[in-house]
């Protein structure tokens, strides 16, 4: 069953502060498509029409909106964030664009509140480094994925903290794939594939974008 988008209209005086605090506005998205190499990411991952996909840490909906277009009317997108203001901004975007196949979910820090055994793909983009209870999140993702479903983690690694501890990296809003690989294995995922040739975050040569793809076992 397709999710139904959260209902609610927000007055103009509420919209203004939300837009002012957005990390990326819709006007930035075209430029971000280029420096993120998003088309390459979605093709490499295998995003297709009719799939059910989650975007954990959706922020203002950059990835969720793109995913909604890719999965089409037969597919569905679950956009999860712990911040209600970001979800309100996304709701406004969905309403203005008449996008019906996205459900916004106000998740908890340790639980994205996703349906079980229902998803083909789960994205965690530029969010994993913020997660303190990351193993609980990975366990919930494992339960939400269909057998053989994929988890995709996309992060940036700043060169100046490349060889530092996990805590030092997360304090710098950065993350090395070497830590995440171990955590994915601990959570029961397999068939890890790593891509270090995505690009530079915001075209900053110090911020290398990497992607890890892993699967939930079929058996």
Range 55-74 average pLDDT: 96
User: Residue 26 — very low, low, confident or very high, per pLDDT cuts 50/70/90?
Assistant: low
Instruction: Report whether 194 contacts 177 (CB < 8 A).
Output: yes
| Of residues 11, 3, 2, the one with CA closest to residue 92 | 11
How far is Cα 179 from Cα 165, in angstroms, rounded to an integer? Answer: 9
Position 144 scores a pLDDT of: 99
Position 197 scores a pLDDT of: 84
**Is residue 17 in a domain?**
no
Range 72-88 average pLDDT: 98
Instruction: Report whether 26 contacts 96 (CB < 8 A).
Output: no
How many structural domains comprise the chain?
1
CATH number at residue 51: 3.40.50.150
**Is residue 201 in a domain?**
yes
Q: Angle 150-171-108 (CA atoms, 0-180°, nearest 5)?
A: 50
**Is residue 125 in a domain?**
yes
pLDDT tens digits for range 161-182? 999 999 999 999 999 999 999 9
pLDDT tens digits for range 88-123? 999 999 999 999 999 999 999 999 999 999 999 999
Q: Is 107 left (phi over 0), alpha (psi -120 to 50) or beta?
A: beta
């Amino acid at each position: 069953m397709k999710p139904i988008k959260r209902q609610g209209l927000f007055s103009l005086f509420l919209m203004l502060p939300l837009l002012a605090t957005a990390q990326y506005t819709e006007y930035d998205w075209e430029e971000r498509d280029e420096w993120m190499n998003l088309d390459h990411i979605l093709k490499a991952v295998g995003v297709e029409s009719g799939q059910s996909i989650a975007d954990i840490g959706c922020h203002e909906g950059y990835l969720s909106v793109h995913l909604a277009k890719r999965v089409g009317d037969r597919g569905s997108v679950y956009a999860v964030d712990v911040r209600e203001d970001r979800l309100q901004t996304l709701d406004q975007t969905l309403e203005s664009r008449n996008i019906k196949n996205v459900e916004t979910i106000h998740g908890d820090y340790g639980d994205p509140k996703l349906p079980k055994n229902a998803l083909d793909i789960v994205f965690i983009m530029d969010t994993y480094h913020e997660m303190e209870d990351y193993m609980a999140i990975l366990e919930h993702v494992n339960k939400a994925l269909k057998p053989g479903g994929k988890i995709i983690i996309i992060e940036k690694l700043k060169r100046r903290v490349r060889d530092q501890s996990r805590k030092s990296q997360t304090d710098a809003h950065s993350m090395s794939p070497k830590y995440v690989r171990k955590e994915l294995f601990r959570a029961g995922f397999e068939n890890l594939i790593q891509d270090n040739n995505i690009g530079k975050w915001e075209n900053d040569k110090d911020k290398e974008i990497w992607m890890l793809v892993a699967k939930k076992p079929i058996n």
